[in-house]
Amino acid sequence: MTRAQARPRLYLFMALAVALALGGGTAYALGGARSFAVFQQANARYQTACDSLISWEPPADILTGFYSNQQRLVTVRYRSQTAQALDIAVSVPNLTQTQEFEAHAGTVTQVQDYWPPIASPQALEALVGPQKRDGRILLTVRRADGSECSLSAPVTLYSRQMMRWSDAAGADNSSYLAGWVTPQANVIRDLVGRAASQISQYPSEYAGVSALAGYDEGRAQPAAVVAQVNALFDTLRQTYHLRYAQMNVPYRQDAMQLIQLPRDVLTSAAPTAMCVESTVIMASAIERLGMRPYIVFVPGHVYLGVATDAQSSAIEYWETTPSNEGTNGAQANQYGDTKVAEAYHVGNVLRTLDILAARAQGILPME
C-alpha cells in the first residue's frame, strides 16, 4: 500500500479518535452535570444565611398532635472560616419554649438538631378542631462579640386533633395514634371508676370478676379479662350514652383526619365517636388497668384488641362502634372476634398497632 493510499485510512482513524474523545468528554460532562444536579437538588431546600454561618431547612407545617412524640423540628448546619463561638436558638412562638445550643464553629460543617419543648399544656389547646393557623419558626445566631442575626420561616400549625395517616413520601404515621391513647387522663380515671360500679351493680353479667384488677398480677383468667373489657364497653353505652359516627379511616393514604382525644369526646354534651375514637377511649382504659391494648387496622375501619394475659399469647377483639343500639360488650366481643378472623383469612389486616410496643419506641400519651 502506497503512502497516498494509506492517507485516507489514517484520516479515518484520526476522525474516529477525535469522535471518541469528544463523546467521552461529552459523557463525562453530562455525568458531571447530572451529579451536580443531584447535589443541587439535595441541598436546594437548605437556606444559607447570617453571612453563610448557618443553613437550615425549616418544615412547611407542624402537626401539633405529633410534635411531643417527634425527635426533631429542624436541623441547623453551621460553619465559619474563622473559629468562633455561636449561640444558636430556635423557637416557635406561642407553641414552644426556646431551645439554645452553644456551638463552636470552624471550617468543617457541623450539624445540630433542634426540638424545642412545648411551652405548656395550654399551648396545644390554642388549636382544636379542623383548624390551622399561620406561625413562624425563629432562629437566632449570637456571636461572641455580641452581634446577632435573626431568621424566621413561615409554618402552618395544625390542630392537636389532626392525624396525617401517611405523607407524600409514603411514611406510615399510624404509630402516632398511640399518642391519643391517654390512660392518665381524668376522664379515663372516671370511666374506670364507673365501670367498676357497673360490675358491682350487675354482677351476673360479668361472671368471674368482682373488680377491675387488670391481669391481677397474672392471676386473672382470660374470661375475667374479657369481662372487664365488656364492662368498660357497657359503661360507655349505658352511662355515657356514647353515640357512634360512621366514618372511614383512610389508613395508608396521604390524608388528614380529625381525631378527638378521649377527653374531647367524654366531656362533650352529647358524646359522639367514630371507630378510631371509641377504640382509643377503650384502649386508654385498658392501658390504665395495666393490660395490653392493640388497634387493628382493616380497610376503612379499626378494631380493639386486648391481650388476655401479660404475655399476650392470646388476643380478643371488640367492635367498638356497633350498629345496633342494644349491643352489649359480650356481643361486641363476639362480633369483633369474627370480623378480625375473617380479615386475617382474606389478608385484610393492614396493621396491628401494639400500644405497649409504641411506648417502647417513644410514642407517649399526648396528655
The domain made up of 49-160 has a fold known as: Immunoglobulin-like (2.60.40)
Average pLDDT of the residues in 13-39? 42
Asked whether the CA dihedral 29, 31, 34, 38 is positive or negative, the reply is negative
Domain ranges in the chain? 49-160, 163-360
pLDDT of residue 313: 79
Please say if the pLDDT value at position 30 is more than 70: no
pLDDT band at residue 34 under the 50/70/90 scheme: very low
pTM of the model: 0.84
pLDDT band at residue 77 under the 50/70/90 scheme: very high
**Interval 263-280: pLDDT, tens:** 999 999 999 999 999 999
pLDDT of residue 129: 82
Instruction: Please give the residue that has the higher pLDDT: either 194 or 133.
Output: 194
pLDDT band at residue 322 under the 50/70/90 scheme: confident
Taking the C-alpha atoms of residue 240 and residue 225, their distance in angstroms, rounded to an integer, is 22
**Interval 208-252: pLDDT, tens:** 899 999 999 999 999 999 999 999 999 999 999 999 998 899 998
pLDDT of residue 128: 83
| pLDDT-wise least confident of 11-25, 44-58, 129-143, 333-347 | 11-25
Please say if the pLDDT value at position 155 is more than 70: yes
CA-based max dimension of the chain: 119
| pLDDT-wise least confident of 158-172, 192-206, 265-279 | 158-172
